[in-house]
Amino acid sequence: MQTATKKRNVAIELWRFLIAFAIVGFHTGWIIAMSCNGSLGYWMESSNWFFGSSEVLLIFTVTAGYFMVAHFNKRKSDGVYMARSASSRAWEYTWARVKALLPVLILGYVLGVIISTGFFYQDYTVQQVLAMVVNSIWEFLGFHAAGFRSTGNQFFNLNGTLWFISAMIIVGYFMYWALCKNEDVFCGFVAPLTFIFLGGWWCFSGTRAAQTAWSTLGLQTASTNGMGGSAGDTTAMLGFNNGLLYVMLGMMGGCMVYYLVKKASEVTFSGAAKAALTLVNIVCSVLLLWYTIYQPTYFMLDRWTVALLCIVVITLSLMNKDGLTAALNNNVTSKLFAYLGGISLYVYMLHYPVAILVLRVMGKNTEETIYSFWTVFVPTVVITMVLSVITKFAMEKTILKKK
């Protein structure tokens, strides 16, 4: 007798793609502004399209934490695996992620070198480009978010969005090691304690994710709200990169979401309960999409209210108990949503230099002749999607090929 194959929940995959798609819009607007007069404020006055997507990157971190714990629990039935040391299992887990992400991360930097040099500043000579590449070897190895960058952060500007991938790899190792060492202590005490107190401090202090900002025991070494700047002579004591802290915070939230979803899977919900969950999911999804596409919204949502919306939508999608999630998991579009989710990180990792390429082809931008958002955004999306599909195909045929 054959066991029925469990249907894949693709609602979360659709969310991951939508957020990646929106982030392309955010960075497109950023690049238009920076190419015009170096002022993000000028673009904000011209167009607010997708400006809120800078806050919903949390969806990637929470889902990463959820699937990390899910992976760990899936392997718990393997006695040989569990008998190995925590460090051995953590390195194996990290290597699998490195193998899946590092080649594309390197591709993203290579595209940055080829496309970006000479766009924001004067054209670089071959010697200058080679010097930046050599001095940025740590970035190619995935240590960008830890602060290992070329002097002056020049190379960082070529594809700065890759700080997020670097942080996912670094934080993932330490969190998986802690899981292997003592799941109960880490998920039952460390994760919720860190999430509540670090999140509360960030909310109170107005801090946000910024790969060039550092937190030093309550002090910021960068400008207001942790945006821009970097550690320097004023750094008084050991600090932590805000990009790493942001990813860690979200992944620890994902750990808690895993156990909440696991508990919910054991409960039989009544029709009224499912209707209530459906209503909550619809309201939170609409608010989140509204904020992502056009921020600030009518409700003037705070950053941490948006974070709560992200967590609620992710949790309900993973629970798969409400009507909206069930509708997204229909047989007609399930394969499409699964595929789009599968290329979402590729879209994120490759879009930045593509947007710069589009503007370089279109010609230099000025305040008098500033290109409209959609004029740059549409070709950027098309080229990024094609490049992501090709990259996914190449990765599955080579590095990620199943034996």
Tell me the C-alpha distance between 396 and 372, whole Å. 37
Q: What tens digit of pLDDT does each residue of 264-273 get? A: 999 999 999 9
State yes or no: pLDDT of 35 exceeds 90.
no
Q: CA angle 13-187-92, nearest 5°?
A: 65
Task: Tell me which residue of 86, 44, 287 sits closest to 175, measured CA to CA.
Answer: 86
Name the more confident of 373 and 341.
341
State yes or no: pLDDT of 320 exceeds 90.
yes
Neighbouring C-beta atoms of residue 193, cutoff 10 Å: 11
Question: Which sign, positive or negative, has the C-alpha torsion 380, 62, 58, 22?
Answer: positive
Q: What tens digit of pLDDT does each residue of 51-75 get? A: 778 788 889 999 999 999 999 999 9
Give the model's pLDDT for residue 155: 45
Name the more confident of 369 and 64.
64
Q: What tens digit of pLDDT does each residue of 268-307 get? A: 999 999 999 999 999 999 999 988 887 666 677 888 888 9
Residue in the block written with tokens 């955010």: 26
Task: List CB contacts of 209: < 8 A, sequence separation 6 or more.
Answer: 57, 226, 242, 243, 246, 247
Residue 89 pLDDT class (50, 70, 90 cuts): very high
0.85 surpassed by pTM: yes
Instruction: Report in angstroms the alpha-carbon separations of 222 from 42, 161, 285.
Output: 22, 18, 33
Whether the link from the prior residue into 192 is cis, omega within 30° of 0, is no
Tell me the C-alpha distance between 142 and 8, whole Å. 31
Give the model's pLDDT for residue 341: 92
Kindly report the backbone phi and psi dihedral angles of residue 394, in degrees, each rounded to the nearest multiple of 5, phi listed first.
Answer: -65, -40
Average pLDDT over the chain reads 82
Tell me the C-alpha distance between 207 and 85, whole Å. 37
Tell me the C-alpha distance between 205 and 360, whole Å. 39
For the ranges 108-112, 147-151, 250-254, the one whose mean pLDDT is highest: 250-254
- Contacts of the segment 41-45: beta carbons below 8 A, 24+ positions apart: 42/367
Least confident of 121-135, 150-164, 223-237: 223-237
Residue 238 pLDDT class (50, 70, 90 cuts): low
Tell me the C-alpha distance between 148 and 392, whole Å. 28
Give the model's pLDDT for residue 337: 93
- Contacts of the segment 340-344: beta carbons below 8 A, 24+ positions apart: 340/13, 340/14, 340/17, 341/10, 341/12, 341/13, 341/14, 341/16, 341/17, 342/13, 342/392, 343/17, 343/385, 343/388, 343/389, 343/391, 343/392, 344/13, 344/16, 344/17, 344/19, 344/20
Give the model's pLDDT for residue 6: 60
Tell me the C-alpha distance between 58 and 48, whole Å. 20
Tell me the C-alpha distance between 382 and 386, whole Å. 6
Asked if residues 168 and 143 have their Cβ atoms less than 8 Å apart, the reply is no
Least confident of 25-34, 47-56, 144-153: 144-153
Instruction: Report in angstroms the alpha-carbon separations of 324 from 113, 129, 130, 340.
Output: 43, 50, 51, 19
Name the more confident of 332 and 372.
332
Least confident of 42-46, 186-190, 235-239: 42-46
Q: Which two tokens stand for residue 220?
A: 């910021």
Sheet holding 240-241, edge to edge: 219-220, 214-216, 240-241
Give the model's pLDDT for residue 131: 75
State yes or no: pLDDT of 80 exceeds 60.
yes
Residue 88 pLDDT class (50, 70, 90 cuts): very high
State yes or no: pLDDT of 393 exceeds 90.
yes
Give the model's pLDDT for residue 361: 84
Least confident of 149-153, 307-311, 323-327: 149-153
Least confident of 12-16, 49-53, 66-70, 356-360: 49-53
Tell me the C-alpha distance between 33 and 156, whole Å. 18
β-strands 219-220, 240-241 pairing: unpaired
The pLDDT of 328-339, averaged and rounded, is 92
Which amino acid belongs to residue 258? Answer: Y
The pLDDT of 325-350, averaged and rounded, is 92
Asked if residues 215 and 242 have their Cβ atoms less than 8 Å apart, the reply is yes
Task: List CB contacts of 223: < 8 A, sequence separation 6 or more.
Answer: 213, 229
- DSSP letters along 59-81, please? HHHHHHHHHHHHHHHHHTT-HHH
The b-or-e profile of 128-147 (16+ CB within 10 A means b, else e) is ebebbbeebeebbebebbbb
Question: For a pLDDT cut of 70, what percent of the chain falls above it?
Answer: 79
Residue in the block written with tokens 């030093």: 216
Task: List CB contacts of 275: < 8 A, sequence separation 6 or more.
Answer: 323
Name the more confident of 372 and 192.
192
